[in-house]
Amino acid sequence: MNSLEVFYDGGCPLCRREISYFRALKSRVPIIWLDLTDVHAQLPPELDRCSALARMHVRVNGQIYYKGAAAFATLWSQFAYWRMLGLLLKVPPVTWCADRLYSLFLKLRPRLQRWVQRQEKP
């Protein structure tokens, strides 16, 4: 793997916190962080903004896409303290379970976003 592109929802306070955390860490490969709420962000033609905002997407070497739990596994495996969890998440039965949990999280995400936004207000 030579490079990684992470497509994330910059309008989501949860996503911003997570991306901010990972941006501060040293990764094994260069990572390009693409905020999908930036209207000037150039998306690849095969990835539409709505789909990318609905689930986290990661592109490897400009070609291979991962979404949901597989995207997290790909991202996490690039960081020293997260590598083992990322590799574990790539095991098919674990990926399947993690994807189901991620789908559940996505249903709860709007409520969690509102809660975090209330916490962030002065």
For the segment 43-101, what is each residue's pLDDT rounded down to a tens digit? 888 888 888 888 999 999 988 889 999 999 999 999 999 999 999 999 999 999 999 99
Q: What's the pLDDT at 102? A: 93
**Rounded distance between C-alpha atoms, residue 26 and residue 95, angstroms:** 25
Instruction: Centre a 10 Å sphere on the Cβ of residue 102 and count the other Cβ atoms it contains.
Output: 19
User: Is this prediction's pTM over 0.85?
Assistant: yes
Residues recorded for the chain: 122
Residues paired with residue 65 on neighbouring β-strands, in sequence order: 59
CA distance 26 to 40: 27
| Closest residue by Cα to residue 70 from 51, 46, 52, 96 | 96
10 has pLDDT over 80: yes
Q: Which amino acid is at 10?
A: G
